[in-house]
Chain A
Amino acid sequence: MRYDADMVEPQVEPVRLEVNGIERRLFVAPHRTLLETLREDLGLTGTKHGCELGECGACTVLVDGVAVLSCLALTLDADGAEIVTIEGIGSVSHPHPLQRSFADHGAAQCGYCTPAMILTAKALLDRDPHPTDREITEAIAGNMCRCTGYLPIVRAIAAVAAEDRP
C-alpha cells in the first residue's frame, strides 16, 4: 500500500501490562507488537527479533505462563496479561537453574535464540516438571537454533528436570 505524506499518526490506546512482576501502564499504537513494546518502549532487549513473521521463535515470551511469539502478538491484545521475559527469570548474578544449565551445557553458541529457548523450556517445565527428551524436543521445535544442533539444549533442559526430581 501507499501512504499519503499527510497521513495522520494512528491513535494511541492505553494498555496495562504486568511485565516481570511490575505493572506498566502505556499508550501504544494499535499496530504495535508486543515485541516492539518490550524492546523499544520498555528497554527489555533480551527478547530478540529474528524474522518478524512468527517463523523463528527468537521473540518468545511468556504471556500468562504460555510461550507466545511476541512478534505476532499485538500489545493491545495483551492488556491485563502477566508477561515474563528473560530478564524476569534471572540474571548473571542470580541465574535461574535453566540459565545456569544452558551455560554449563554449552547450549548457547551465538546466544541469539537462547532467551526464547529458555522461556519455552520454562513454560514446559512449569506445566510438566519431568518431561522425556522427546517431549523436550517437541516443546522447542518451534524455536530455531542455527548454532548448536539443539542437542546441548535438550541436555540442558533435561538436566534441570532431573535435578528437580525428588
Chain B
Amino acid sequence: MRIDPHHGVVGRAAPRTDALAQASGGLVYVDDLSYPSMLHGKILRSPQAHARIVSIDTSAAAALPGVHAVLTGADLPIAYGLLPVAQDEHALAIDKVRQVGDAVAAVAADDPDIAQRAVELIDVVYEPLPVVATMNDAVEIVDEPIHGDGPRNNRHREVSLDFGDVDAGFDRADHIREDVFFYQGNNHAALEPHGAVALVEDDGRLHLWSATQVPHYLHRIVAKVLEIPEHRIRVTANPTGGGFGAKTDVFAHELVAAKLALATGRPVKLILTREEVFYAHRGRHPVLMWIRTGFTGAGEITAMWFRTYVDGGAYGSYGPASLLYTGQLQTTTYRIPAYRFQGVRFFTNKPACGPKRGHGTPQPRFGLEVHLDKAAEDLGLDPVTIRERNLVHPFSTTVNHLRITSCGLADCIERVVEASEFRAKHRNLPPNRGIGLAVGAYMSGAGLPIYFNDMPQSEVLLKVDRGGLVTVYSMAADCGQGSTTMLATVVGEALGLDAADLAVVTADTDLTPIDLGSYSSRVTFMAGNAALEAAMKLADLILTAVADELELDTDDVRLGRGVVLAGDREIPWPDAVRMAEARWGLLTAAGSYKPPKGIRGDYKGAGVGPSPAYSYSACVAEVDCDPETGFVAVEQVWLAHDIGRAINPLLVRGQIEGSVHMALGETLMEEQAFRGALHDGPSLLDYKIPTALEMPPVEAILVESIDPEGPFGAKEVGQGPLLPVMPAVANAVHDALGIRVDEIPLRPDKILAALRDRERDGQGRYGPTDLPAYEFRPPLPVDPPPELR
C-alpha cells in the first residue's frame, strides 16, 4: 500500500538528530570507550605475503611485566567468513600466512606501549612460499595454491551465463564494438580506523563493542569462532566514523579483542593503526574487463558480452557476491535483449578485497559507460541519444530476471543535460576543456540475506511511555549515512511527531530487533518500511482507543501534528497515548520487512542483483585538462539522482556530494597499488584522497519517482550517485583532449602516455590490451523471463 506523507516531517531538510553531539565531540565512537582496569590489545602481523609458519615463540612476550595474555592461531582454531560459501579465514593465522598484514599473534597488556613491546618480542619463523602477486600469476596452476589444493587452485570463483540468444543478437547487429578496460582497486579510507572493545559483563556474558556496519553478522561469527551460544554474547555497534563498506566484514581484531577479554577477565580495547586498516582492506576489487556489444544502425543494443577478471586478494570475504555484481546490474539501465556474462575471481597474496560503496558495480559501470560513448561516436550519435535509445522501461523485467519498478532515469538524464548545457558544450568547448555524460543504477538493498533464511531482513519495535515519548528500536547501524535520523523521520511522519522528539535505540543485539546491517543501501528501504509498518499499527491502537473513549466512529478520528483530531476536538498526543495505554496496556508495535518474492530468477547466481527497487543517477562532468602535465581539473559536476522520495533532502544532498567526492578520488588519484605483494603506501600521506581544494562545485538534482514499495516512496542514495561520476569524467577527458584513458585512476602519466600515443599516429589511447589466459567454461543458458521470450 502506498502511503503519502502529509505531516511535513518527511521532505523537510532537517539536521541529523545527533548533529550537535557530533559537532561538540560528544558522540561516542568505539575508541572513546574506557572501562576500569581496561587492557590494550595489539596484533602481530605478517611481514610475509605467502609463507608457512614454522614456529611461534611467545615466551618472551608472555614474560614481559604488564602482559596479561598472549594468543596464537591455536587459541582461535575455527574458520569463518562472512559468506557461508567463503569460510576461509582464521582470526590468527594457522600454519600459514596469505598476505602481508595477516594477523599471526596477539597480546593484551596494561598499556599500548607494553602491548607494542610484547608483540615485538614474539618470534615467528616463516618458510617463504612462492608469491602470487597478479591475476596473471593466479591463472597458472601452482603446487602451493593460496587456499587448499582443490581443482580450482587460485581461481576462486567463476561465473558463465547466457541470457537469451546472444549469438543471434550479434548476428543481427549492424555494428559490433569491443573494448578492454582496467579499474584499479582502492580503499575506503574512512577517517576512523577500525576498533573494538570487549568485556565480560556481570552476568558472565561477553559484550563486544565494535565500529561495525553489521552487528548481526558480527554476533553470529563471534558465536561461531569463540564457540559461545549467541545468547551469551551482546554486540553493540558504535556510531562508525565512516563506513563505505569498510566495516561490513568481520575482522581479526574483533574476534581477538573478544577472546582476550575472555582470557583475562578484563576489558580489552584494540584499535587498528591506519597502516593496519590498509592491510585489513576489503576495498574495491581491481577488475579487468572485456566488453563486446552489438548495435543496430540506430544505436539499439542487440547483444552484449561482458567478461570480468577480478583480483580478489587473499580471502573470499564478500568476493563471490562481488564477482556477480561485476556482471549483474548492467541490465538495470539499458535494455539488453541478449546478455552473456563471464567472470572469474582470483586469489592473490594481497589484502583481501570486498565491498566498497557501489560494491562490484563501479568497475563495470565505468567500462560500460565509456564503451557506449565510443560506440556513439562509431555510429555518429551523440552520448545522450545512444543512452535514450536503450533506456530500461519502468515496471519491466530484465533479461537476467531483475524486476525493475520505479525508474526516473530518463528524467535524470534530461535534468543534468539541461542544467549543464551539455548539448551546447559537447564537442564545442575551448581546447583542453571537455564535458562528459554517464548514468548508473543501484539497489535499494540486496534482495537476499547473506545467509539463507526466510525471516524478515529488518524489524522495528516501537514503545510508547506515558509522557508520550515514542522510542524506536532497530539494529540499523548509523555509519554516517543518517539511518537513525531516517528512522525517527519515518516514524515521526507516520505519527505526526517531530523527528527530533522521538528517541531511537540502535545497533545493540540485546536491545534491538534484527536489521541485517548498513550495506547494499538497504536501510532506508527495508528498516524504513519496517518502521512504517510498526508506526501504522501504533497509530491504529491509539486512534481506536481515542475513538472508543470518546464514543466516536473511527473514521472521525485521525492524527494531526502532535495531536489526535477527534471530531471537533484536538487531543494532545500525550493524552491520547494515556487513553491508549489505559485501553491496551503497555503500548508497543512491531513492524517487519522482507522483499517480495518473485524478484529473482532461479539460475545459479540469481541471488545477487535483485532488489525491491533500483535508484538511478545521471552525471555530467566538465573538466579542464593540462596537456603539458596531464593534470585533470574537474570544474563542475551535475548529478541528478532518482531517490524515489527524499525523506530528508539535506541528508540526500549530503550523500550525493559525498559520493561525488569519493568518486573523484577514485577517478583521479586513489589506488591500492602494490610492489609485488607489498602495499605501495599504506598511509594517508601516500594514499591521496581529495582535499577541499580538489572538490568542485556539485549541482545535486533530486528526481522523485515515488517508488510504489518504498517507505513514503523512498529509494536509496548512499551508493548510486557514485557510479556515473568516474565514466562521466573519463568521457569529459576524451571530449577535452581527444584521447582515451581506459583505466581508473586517470593519472596524469596515463593522460600524457595517451597524448604521446596519438602523436605517434596511434589512436590516442592508454589502457590494457591483453587478458589473462583463462578459459571460461561454456556459458550456462538461462531462459529470459516470459515477457521477453
Question: In the bound complex, do residue A141 and residue B15 qualify as a contact, i.e. CB atoms below 8 Å apart?
Answer: no
* Given A3-B117, A110-B241, A102:B23 Cβ within 8 A: yes
Identify which of A5, A45, A49, A147 contacts B242 (C-beta below 8 A).
A147
Chain B interface: which of A62-70, A82-90, A123-131?
A82-90
A31-45: contact bitstring with B at CB < 8 Å (1 yes, 0 no)?
000000000000111
A98-147, CB < 8 A from B: 98-100, 102-104, 106-115, 118, 137-138, 140-147
Cβ of A52 within 8 Å of any chain B Cβ, yes or no, is yes
A6 CB to nearest B CB, Å: 9
Question: Do residues A152 and B22 form an inter-chain contact, with CB atoms below 8 A?
Answer: no
A140-B692, A154-B692 given as contacts; is B24 within 8 A of A146 (CB)?
A: no
**B63 & A50 in contact (Cβ 8 Å cutoff):** no
Q: Chain A residues near B24 (CB, 8 Å)?
A: 46, 86-87, 90-92, 95, 99, 115
Query: Which of B22, B64, B481, B689 is the one whose CB lies under 8 Å from A103?
Result: B22
Interface size class of A (residues with CB under 8 A): 35 or more
Q: Is B16 on the interface with A (CB-CB < 8 A)?
A: yes
| A92 adjacent to B117 (CB under 8 Å) | no
- Interface presence of A22 (CB below 8 A): no
Known: A5-B64, A46-B25, A146-B190. A103 touches B654 (CB 8 A): no
Q: Which residues of B contact A118 (CB under 8 A)?
A: 23
Q: Which of B18, B662, B691, B692 has the most CB of A within 10 A?
A: B692
Nearest-neighbor residue (CB-CB) of B25 within chain A:
A46
CB of A34 to closest CB in B, whole Å: 16
Contact with A along B1-33 (1 / 0, CB 8 A): 000000000000101101111111111110110
B685 touches A106 (CB 8 A): no
Query: Is there contact, CB below 8 Å, between B654 and A152?
Result: yes
Q: Type the 1/0 row for B270-285, where 1 means its CB is closer than 8 Å to any CB of A.
A: 0101100000000000
Asked if B145 is at the interface of the complex by the 8 Å CB criterion, the answer is no
Interface centre among B241, B242, B479, B657 (most CB of A within 10 A): B241
Residues of B close to A108: CB separation below 8 A: 16, 19, 22-23
Binary A-proximity of B106-134 (CB < 8 A = 1, otherwise 0): 00000000000100110000000000000
Which parts of B651-705 form the interface with A (CB within 8 Å)? Answer: 651, 653-654, 657-662, 683-685, 689, 691-693, 695, 697-698
Look across to chain A and name the residue whose beta carbon is closest to the beta carbon of B116: A3
Select B661's contact among A5, A45, A111, A149, beta carbons within 8 Å.
Answer: A149
Assess whether A75 is interfacial by the CB under 8 Å rule: no
On whether the beta carbons of A46 and B26 are closer than 8 Å, the reply is yes
Chain B residues, Cβ within 8 Å of A150:
661, 691-692, 695
User: For residues 611 through 645 of chain B, which have their beta carbon under 8 Å from a beta carbon of chain A?
Assistant: none
Residues of chain B lying within 8 A (CB to CB) of residue A114: 22-23, 25
Number of interface residues of B (CB under 8 A): 63
Interface: B189 (CB within 8 A):
yes
CA distance A5 to B123 in the complex (A): 13
Residue of A48, A53, A137, A147 with most partner-chain B CB within 10 A: A147
B244 CB-CB contact with A under 8 Å: yes
Residue B326 at the chain A interface, CB threshold 8 Å: no
Chain B residue, CB-CB nearest to A109? B480
* Nearest CB of chain A from residue B684's CB, rounded to whole Å: 4
* C-alpha gap A148/B244 in the complex (Å): 12
| B692 adjacent to A55 (CB under 8 Å) | no
Q: Are A146 and B692 in contact (CB under 8 A)?
A: no
Q: Which residue of B lies closest to A87 (CB)?
A: B25
Interface membership of B319, Cβ < 8 A: no
Asked whether A109 lies within 8 Å of B691 as measured between CB atoms, the reply is no
- Residue A17 at the chain B interface, CB threshold 8 Å: no
Please indicate which of the listed interface residues B13, B25, B188, B271 has the most CB atoms of chain A within 10 Å of its own CB.
Answer: B25
The answer to whether the Cβ of B364 comes within 8 Å of any Cβ in the partner chain is: no
State the Cβ distance, B39 to closest chain A Cβ, in Å. 14
Instruction: Flag if B684 contacts A56 (CB, 8 Å).
Output: yes
Tell me which of B15, B60, B193, B691 contacts A50 (CB under 8 A). Answer: B193
Contact in complex: B693, A103 (CB < 8 Å)? no
Q: Which of A6-39 contact B (CB under 8 A)?
A: 7
Q: Which residue of A lies closest to B651 (CB)?
A: A106
Whether B192 and A92, one on each chain, are in contact in the complex, defined by CB atoms closer than 8 angstroms, is: no
Tell me the complex Cα distance, A95–B18, Å. 13
Q: Check A148 against B16 for contact (C-beta < 8 Å).
A: no
Closest to A55 in B: B684
Are A138 and B693 in touch, CB under 8 angstroms? Answer: yes
Q: Decide if A58 is an interface residue (CB 8 Å cutoff).
A: yes
> B23 touching A110 by the CB < 8 A rule?
no
Q: How far is B32's CA from A109's CA once the two chains are assembled, in angstroms?
A: 18
Let me know if A53 and B692 touch, CB within 8 A: no
| Least Cβ–Cβ distance between B212 and chain A, in angstroms | 13
**A112: contacting residue among B21, B121, B191, CB under 8 A:** B191
Known contacts: A103-B15, A103-B16, A111-B27. The answer to whether A92 contacts B661 by CB under 8 A is no
Is B482 located at the chain interface by the 8 A CB criterion? Answer: yes
Tell me whether A109 and B29 are in contact in the complex, defined as CB-CB below 8 angstroms, given that A5-B121, A149-B695 are known contacts: no
- Is the Cβ of A149 less than 8 Å from the Cβ of B658? yes
Contact B23 A112, beta carbon cutoff 8 Å: no
Given A110-B480, A148-B657, A45-B240 contact (CB < 8 Å):
no
The reply to whether the CB of B650 lies closer than 8 angstroms to some CB of chain A is yes
Q: Are the CB atoms of B20 and A144 closer together than 8 Å?
A: no
Task: Find out whether the CB atom of A110 lies under 8 angstroms from the CB atom of B654.
Answer: no
B25–A51 contact, CB under 8 A? no
Name the residue among B24, B60, B188 with the largest chain A CB count within 10 angstroms. B24
B239 at the interface (CB under 8 A from A): yes
Contacts of B661 in A (CB 8 A): 145-146, 148-150
A43 CB, nearest partner CB in chain B, Å = 8
Q: Which residues of A contact B691 (CB under 8 A)?
A: 141-142, 144, 150
Q: Determine how close the nearest CB of chain A comes to the CB of B601; give it in whole angstroms.
A: 36
Inter-chain CA distance A51–B187, complex, in Å, is: 14
B669 to chain A, nearest CB (A): 13
Residues of A within 8 A of B653 (CB): 106
With A53-B684, A145-B191 already in contact, the answer to whether A151 and B697 are too (CB < 8 A) is yes
Contact pick for B16, options A106, A149, A153, CB 8 Å: A106
Q: Measured between C-beta atoms, what is the minimum distance from A140 to chain B in Å?
A: 5
Cβ contacts under 8 Å, B481 to chain A:
109
Cross-chain contact of A110 among B191, B274, B692 (Cβ < 8 A): B191
17 A-B residue pairs with CB within 8 Å? A2-B121, A3-B120, A46-B26, A50-B191, A51-B683, A53-B274, A55-B274, A56-B274, A85-B25, A109-B481, A118-B23, A147-B242, A149-B698, A150-B661, A150-B692, A153-B692, A154-B692
Closest 8 CB pairs of A and B: A46-B25, A110-B480, A112-B241, A111-B22, A149-B661, A103-B19, A86-B25, A55-B684
Further 6 A-B residue pairs, CB within 8 A, beyond A108-B16, A112-B191: A3-B117, A53-B274, A58-B191, A90-B24, A100-B20, A151-B697
Q: Which A residues are closer than 8 A to B by beta carbons?
A: 2-3, 5, 7, 43-53, 55-56, 58, 85-87, 90-92, 95, 98-100, 102-104, 106-115, 118, 137-138, 140-154
